[in-house]
Amino acid sequence: MSHLNKPDLTSASGRQYWRSLDQLADTPEFREWAEREFPAGAAELSPDFQRRDFMKLMSASFLLAGFGLTGCRRPVEKIYPFSEKPAGYTHGVPGHFATGLSSRRSGAPLVVESNEGRPTKVEGNSLHPDSNGGTDALTQASILSLYDPDRATRFAARGRDLSKEAAYEALDEAIATASVNRGRGVAFLLEQSASPSRARVIESLKRKLPSAIIAEYEPVNFENSRLAIEKVMGQKARPQYHLDKASVILSLDADFLGVEEDSPRMIRDFASGRQLESVDDKMSRLYTVEALMTLTGANADHRLRVPSSQIGKWRRRWLPGF
């Protein structure tokens, strides 16, 4: 049996490797820390420290901890009753309220479950005529935005923290200055939204600040599809797909079961066309041509993967009139 020599770790020969950024920097503080076997306070004890002195020190520490009662108690949090109880509120019983979530060009009717005043669960509103009580992944994830640690928690102006009152005063001054200049030099950058309330606010801003710039930006834009529909129809229109009535569905690089607009309704219609209640019922067939794997492609009966540049060729092959 061959004998393996133990490597000499103290040898200076060979390539040297650093184990941390502190070791690479080789600061005096790091060298002092490395020379001490127990860095956390062990060197503060003198060499003539006796066992009796150690017991005195530990006894005093326990005594002080007993006086303070801070070492084993949680922070005190006081719970106060409602000064005016909300209507219909019962402690421990979740409440439900109807609301809606606006998106770029549509909206989703929702029912939100609330526990102790905190929204905790989102579901579709089954009583709405255009909903089956279901939602998509983005709507389900929207509840997390209420608890996002990166949400704004303070008022600031030009990098300086302000109180709520001071922030409102600064905003009033900015609006007054913009009104004098009719909005010249003022710009609003917004996300797309189908909210009628926001549309009314924007119209009011345009009347008061006609020279202001109001721009919308989205990292993923569906403007090309809107322009294509307008070119085909000769007017501004929005398609309404009835997948529950279709026997054959062709999807050309469109993830209508995933992230496309109006996906909750299309998911419902697609599922309705796939349900069989008797032996005479027929199930719809889904054919997908796409470049990347999507949720729609995963549910397709036949899926063809082609580069995005080739989608147009397949469209002309199967839909020669478009």
Q: What digits encode the pLDDT tens for the residues 92-113?
A: 889 888 988 877 777 788 999 9
Residue 264 confidence (pLDDT): 79
In a domain, 298, yes or no: yes
* Number of domains, the chain: 4
**Would you say residue 290 lies in a domain?**
yes
Query: Are residue 142 and residue 191 in the same domain, yes or no?
Result: no
The alpha carbon dihedral of 117, 122, 128, 130 has a sign of: positive
Q: Are residues 192 and 129 both part of a single domain?
A: no
Task: Calculate mean pLDDT across residues 248-255.
Answer: 89
pLDDT at 117: 80
**162 and 136 in one domain?**
no
Q: Is residue 292 part of a domain?
A: yes
Indicate the pTM of the whole model: 0.55
CATH at 126: 2.20.25
Domain identity same for 251 and 265: yes
Predicted local confidence at residue 62, as pLDDT: 62
- Over the stretch 178-226, which tens digit does the pLDDT of each residue have? 888 888 888 888 988 878 888 899 999 888 888 889 998 888 777 777 7
Of 196, 221, 246, the domain-final residue: 221
Per the prediction, the chain carries an average pLDDT of: 79
Residues 6 or more apart whose Cβ sits within 8 Å of residue 181: 211
Q: What pLDDT is stored for residue 244 in this prediction?
A: 87
Give the pLDDT mean for 62-85: 66
pLDDT band with cut points at 50, 70 and 90 for residue 6: very low
- pLDDT(22) > 70: yes
Residue 281 lies in a domain: yes
Amino acid type, 210: P
Residues 239, 314: one domain?
A: yes
**One domain for residues 137 and 119:** yes
Q: Do 244 and 169 lie in a common domain?
A: no
pLDDT of residue 200: 92
Beta-carbon contacts of residue 120 (< 8 Å; ≥ 6 apart): 94, 113, 114, 143
Residue 44 falls within a domain, yes or no?
Answer: no
Q: What is the pLDDT of residue 42?
A: 52
Range of the domain at 214: 183-221
Tell me which range, 44-48, 74-78, 103-107, 119-123, is most confidently predicted by mean pLDDT: 119-123
Residues 241 and 314 in one domain: yes
User: Based on the domain organization, do 212 and 264 belong to the same domain?
Assistant: no
Would you state the pLDDT for residue 34? Answer: 72
Euclidean distance between CA atoms 166 and 277, whole angstroms: 65
Q: Are residues 100 and 128 in the same domain?
A: yes
